[in-house]
Amino acid sequence: HNQPVLPQDRFVWLARLVNYEKPDYLIDGGDFDDFHSLCSHEKNESEKGRVKPALLHDLECSAKARSIIDDVLTCNTIKHVTLGNHEDRLWLYENMNREVAGLATSHYMDILDKHKWLCTKYGAYLTLEGVDFTHCPFNGMGRPVGGDNVAKQAAEKSIKDVVFGHTHQMTLVTAHKFGDNRSVTAYNLGCYMPDGYIPSYAKNTRKEFWYGAHVLMISGGRVKSVKSYQIGELEHRYGQSVRLVFNG
């Protein structure tokens, strides 16, 4: 949920974590960019809508965040993004305003290409080492899975271990299948917003958000372990340190 009004130092911490862990892949699970300018929940003529950023400002903010990551990153990792519903606002807007079709989406794809992010469209699956990654699983009606038990539904319906975000929560659910030692685990791994930040549309939610990043070890087509770093820990480890000198 990168946006112009939020600090971007958390992307420095992320890149430093990647340098430390040296993973084979870096996965952006979607909704990296908020695109508040195109938020349909806040109409332009409303009080909140009047202070929304311009789309160009949102795009510049996206480019800056990915440049920050690149400037700090020294680890040679393959970068993937599975686009989320917030990035999909670009495509929805162009679909409803055909006179600008391709204008914003091509600009955005140029940003991803420039910073070498391989892209999986919203709703599709990226399969790496036998594990599925997506922003949010879709049901048989072609709609994102919702409700209070998204991870449970994902585990029951998926045919491979699946990793996603979308709900901002962290939940792990394993569904056992017929046969010996057959199961699928769904990993709903939270968000990477500033610690404690809650978007305006979620102010009254009953859900507890989880903020941070994860390192997954995959072997034999399964997620074998998850090492989780809360964003406060990342700030402590990789943020600007303060040096104190005491003269007794």
Tens digits of residue pLDDT in 6-18? 999 999 999 999 9
In this prediction, residue 170 carries a pLDDT of 95
Question: What are the pLDDT digits (tens) for 206-236?
Answer: 678 999 999 999 999 999 999 999 999 999 9
User: Helix 55-72 vs helix 9-21: angle between axes, to the nearest 10 degrees?
Assistant: 30
pLDDT above 90 coverage of the chain, percent = 81
In the three-class reduction of DSSP (H, G, I as helix; E, B as strand; rest coil), residue 103 is classed as helix
Is 7:62 a contact under the CB 8 Å cutoff?
no
Name residue, tokens 């892949």: 25
Q: Which residues contact 61 (CB under 8 A, 6 or more apart)?
A: 2, 3, 4, 8, 33, 53
Is 65:34 a contact under the CB 8 Å cutoff?
no
Question: What are the pLDDT digits (tens) for 28-85?
Answer: 999 999 999 998 877 776 767 777 899 999 999 999 999 999 999 999 999 999 999 9
C-alpha 186/C-alpha 174 separation (Å) is: 6
Is 222:161 a contact under the CB 8 Å cutoff?
yes
> Is pLDDT above 80 for 142?
yes
Nearest to 70 by CA among 127, 8, 4, 121: 8
